Amino acid sequence: MGFIFDAEWLLSGESIVSILWKFARANGLPGHALVRLMDRDIDPYEGVEPIRDVIDLKHLRRMLLLPGNVLRASLLDPGQRGRYHPVFPYCRQCTSLGHHSVTYQMFSENRCPAHRQKLETKCQHCGQEAPYILNASLVGSPYRCARCGALYATRSPPAFATKPAMRNEHRIAIARHFHNRMAGGFRLGIDDRDLQLAGSGGRGGA
């Protein structure tokens, strides 16, 4: 379809919102157009819950050209309804480096496994929370508050990062945590080789 995207931009357990933010920035797509690409039957302003039994995975896979297991893992498990935050929790440092994990949506998650910062739900500028719904407002506000447009962190990650900006140890911590929390339910079969791959590539970032 002529879109630009690279699976190397993703870390283990990247949420669908994080994936769509990278796709939107790489291709210059506004939120309403991206939601329409996901499914023409979705009202882009009302949106849809990012849950596996709601999203058309086959269509999403054709659009993003990503492996099915990556997309399944990025979406919430329908069997865990009631255990997820209805709003968007985030780690400021992860957000500044272009990452949001699907595990952050779990009520039992309190801190980022890499930076050990407490996860936040309110915008530091307006104090509002953004509903965790794939709509034009959230998808069209990469790394920013969907309410007021302020950055969640002190900086915005580059649109075209050839490698993850995080340090090796932080990437490995995220991969290991995702495996410990999610591998059984998602049947991803992550092993130590995946953790080593998650930590490969250049160094840098916070």
pLDDT (0 to 100) of residue 196: 42
Q: Would 69 be classed as within a structural domain? A: yes
The model's pLDDT over 152-203, given as tens digits with 9 standing for 90+, comes to: 998 888 765 555 577 888 989 988 888 887 654 443 333 333 434 444 444 3
pLDDT (0 to 100) of residue 25: 86
Q: What's the structural domain count of the chain?
A: 1
Q: Would 84 be classed as within a structural domain? A: yes
Q: Would 169 be classed as within a structural domain? A: no
Distance CA 177, CA 127 (A): 29
Could you tell me what percent of the chain has a pLDDT over 70? 83
**What residues make up the domain containing 48?**
7-161
The model's pLDDT over 128-155, given as tens digits with 9 standing for 90+, comes to: 999 999 999 999 999 999 999 999 998 8
Name the pTM for this structure: 0.83
The answer on pLDDT for 9 being more than 50 is yes
